[in-house]
Amino acid sequence: MTHPIRIGLMRVLTAGTGLGAALAAIPGVAWADSSTDPYSWLDQVVSGLSVPAADAAAPLDMQISISGFDLFPTLDNTATAESSFGSFAVAIGDGANANASGGFLDGAFADGTNANAGAGLAGNFDLAIANGDNSNAGAGVGGNFVVAIANGNNSDAGAGIGSNFDIATADGDGSKAIVGIGGGWDIATAEGANSSANAGLGQFNDATALGAGSNATAAGNFDTALTNGAGSDASAGGGSADLAIANGAGVEAIATGNSDTAIVSGTNAEAQAIGVGDIASIFNTGSAFDQAIAGGTAAAFSDNNIATIIGTGSTAFAGADGATLGDWDLAAVFGDMLHASAIGGNFLVDILPSI
109-150 pLDDT per residue, tens: 999 999 999 998 888 999 999 999 999 999 987 889 999 999
For residues 76 and 66, give the distance between their C-alpha atoms in angstroms, rounded to a whole number.
20
For residues 170 and 191, give the distance between their C-alpha atoms in angstroms, rounded to a whole number.
6
Identify the burial level of 33 via C-beta atoms within 10 angstroms of its C-beta, where 0-12 means exposed, 13-18 middle and 19 or more buried. Answer: exposed
For residues 259 and 139, give the distance between their C-alpha atoms in angstroms, rounded to a whole number.
30
Determine the length of the chain: 355
Mean pLDDT of 18-36: 40
For 144, phi and psi rounded to 5 degrees? -125, 155
Q: Which residues contact 155 (CB under 8 A, 6 or more apart)?
A: 130, 132, 135, 136, 170, 171, 172, 173, 174, 175, 176
Sequence letter at residue 201: L
315-331 pLDDT per residue, tens: 999 999 988 899 999 99
pLDDT at 3: 38
pLDDT at 14: 35
What DSSP string runs through 146-175?
A: -EEEEESTT-EEEE-SS-BS-EEEEESTT-
For residues 98 and 119, give the distance between their C-alpha atoms in angstroms, rounded to a whole number.
8
Cβ atoms of residues 110 and 151 within 8 Å: no
Q: What is the DSSP letter of 252?
A: E
Q: What is the DSSP letter of 79?
A: -
276-317 pLDDT per residue, tens: 999 999 999 999 999 999 997 655 678 999 999 999 999 999
Sequence letter at residue 70: D
48-62 pLDDT per residue, tens: 444 444 455 566 899
pLDDT at 297: 66
Q: Which residues contact 57 (CB under 8 A, 6 or more apart)?
A: none
Element holding 11 (H helix, E strand)? helix 9-14
